[in-house]
Structures are given as C-alpha cells and as structure tokens.
Amino acid sequence: MAVRTDKSTAGSRSEGGASTARLTAADGLKAGIPIAAGYIPIAIAFGVLAKSAGIPNHVTVIMSLAVFAGASQFAGVTLISSGAAAWEIIFTTFIINLRHLLMSASLSRRIERGRLRRWIPLLAFGITDETFSVASFRKEPLISPEFVLALNFLAFAAWNAGTWAGIFLAKGLPEIISDSMGIALYAMFIGLLVPSARKSKPVLLVSLAAVIIHSFIHWFPLFTGLSSGWGIIISTLAAAAAGAVIYPRGVDDD
Amino acid sequence: MTDYLWLVVLGMGAVTYLPRMLPVVLLNNVKLHPRVNSFLRFIPFAALSALIFPGVLQSTGSVESAAAGSLVAVVLALLRMNIMVVVLGGIAGVMAWEMLAA
C-alpha cells in the first residue's frame, strides 16, 4: 500500500479542533503502536496457556488468525481442554464478542464512504475493543478506511506474532513484567477517555453512568450468573441510551 | 486437526466476524434519526468506561497495584500527556507498587 507521508500527518495532530486533513495509512500504523505493545504480552500468555492446555500448535495459530479476539480465545482454549461441546464454545464466544455489534454500528457513522468502501468488510474483521477505541477517539469527523486498515493490520500482526512467541518459545514473561504489562491496554483506554471526559460534560456523565452500571452488575449478587460479555453490553447500551435521551444532539450538546 | 477442533475454531471465527461486519457494512449508507446518531456517538465513551471498570482491577497481580497504575495513568492523562506516556506511566506505577510491596 502506498503510504503518503506529506504534511497531512502533522495537520491531523492539530490541537483540539476538527482537522480536515485526511488520515493516512501511516497515521494508522503510528496510532496502532500502543495497541501492538499491549497485545504482545497478552498474546504470549495466550500461546503459553494453549500449549499447556494441550491444544495442538496449528489449532492455536489458526485460532489467532481466524478469531482475533482476546477474551474469547482464552475462554475457547479453556473450554476445549475441559472437553466442552462445540456449540457451547461457539455460543460463549458469540456472547463475549456481541459487544462489537455496538462498536461496528458506531463506527459506521464515521467511516469515509469513498472509493475504498469495498475494503470495509475486511476492515471490519479487525474491529477489537482497542482498534475501535483508537479509531473512534480521533478528532477528525471522518475516518479513512486506509487509516483503520493500517491500524487493524498492526494490531493483528502483533497478536499473531505474540501467539507464535508464546507457543514456540513456550515460556511466559517473568511474572513482574507480565503483571505490570497487564495494565497497558487499560492505561491506553484511560489515556483516550480522560481528555474527552474532561472537555465534554455529556461524555463525562455517560462515562460515569457506564462505570456505575457496570460496577452494579459486577458486584450486585442478583447478577452473579451474568457473563462479563453481557455486563459490558448492558452497561454500554444503558449509558449511551441515557446520554441520547438527555443530550439528543450528541457529544457536544451542552 | 480433528473435525471437532475445526468446527470450534471456524465457528468461533464466524460468530466473532458477523457482529463486527454486519453493522458497519449495512448501516454505512443509511441515514438515521438524530437521536439514534447521538446514541451511536455515545457508544465509544460508554463502551470504554465499561471495559475499564471494574476489569482494570483484575489486570495485574493485585487490586492494589492495579489501582496504583490506574491512578498514575489518570493523572498523566489529566496532564494531557501523550498516550504512550500514559501507557508507560501506568506500567511503571504497577511495577513500582509490586516491587515496594514485595
């Protein structure tokens, strides 16, 4: 893919305001670096877990290539090694990843519908919590497909490289390193969310609502049977719906 | 690979891909009611918040070190630091806590 490295990269970094510069593939790779750094230790842990659970190496490799979703892959190998039925594993995966339905719908409002639109089905394969967040929190009103493709590609490459490292080096990272790296993607989420919540009162209120609802679902005994997949879906739906009711004109409605 | 493992991996791939693909492809050219648009624009903030908390508390070796790392990340983000600085600061916060507590 031809990568433009003109001054539009600098333009898209402009403080605060909506820039008109088109996001390039190079911007996407750059934006993907924190995701890649966060994925590698998790993918290594996944490879190590799959190996120790007795999953054949090629199954683990194909799973990272074909599924590309962290939580459900961990659940998948655990369920396979416990001898769960295929439909049970597939259904669990479906519930865990159903939240991407909401993210994909949200992203459909921002993706540019130019000549690269035929790439959107491929781009959709790479939607994860992290790639979605980094793309959505761009200040540019429209996000170019090549930006998302490059961002997703780097995340995908890191996830698969980490899986290989975990399987074939078959050694986890030292505990203090893997423990400390566990917070990397959460810190990235915090780094994305806090500046927006600080600038917009609707965003702050919706964020607090989601945290409160999710905490309630997580700790209130009535909901203990609910999987974490449902917990995230319900709190996201409820908080975003409350936001839309109170602020019908959206994020900047203050 | 046995039939069982093929079925599991391909099934997992399919049920993961469809929710990712259908909305962004089908809604791409559709005009929506402003209130629905507003709802969809709030999704990133709501989803990110729900993903962060309480999940972050279980992301490290202990709840205390996770809280320490999160606090460092929040402070750095409030100071408008670059995202890489926030990430590295969060990791350093956890590491520092775990070394001091050990």
Structure tokens, B26: 């089908």
Where in chain B are the domains?
31-101
For residues B72-90, give the mean pLDDT: 96
ipTM of the complex: 0.94
- What distance in Å separates the CA atoms of residue B24 and residue A7, rounded to the nearest whole number? 30
Interchain pair B95, A80: CB under 8 A: no
Interchain pair B50, A89: CB under 8 A: no
Name every chain A residue with its beta carbon within 8 A of the beta carbon of B41: 106, 109, 250-251
Element (H, E) at A49: helix A25-52
Interchain pair B41, A180: CB under 8 A: no
Q: What is the pLDDT of residue B1?
A: 62
pLDDT in tens, A2-56: 444 443 433 344 444 445 688 999 999 999 999 999 999 999 989 999 998 899 9
Q: Which residues pair with A111 in a beta bridge?
A: A143
Q: What is the pLDDT of residue A160?
A: 98
Burial of A122: CB neighbours in 10 Å, binned 0-12, 13-18, 19+:
middle
Contacts of A226 (CB under 8 A, 6+ apart): A217
- Is the model's pLDDT at B48 over the cut of 70? yes
**CA distance, residue B81 to nearest chain A CA (Å):** 8
Name every chain B residue with its beta carbon within 8 A of the beta carbon of A214: 49-50, 53-54
Report yes or no: B48 at the A interface, CB cutoff 8 Å: yes
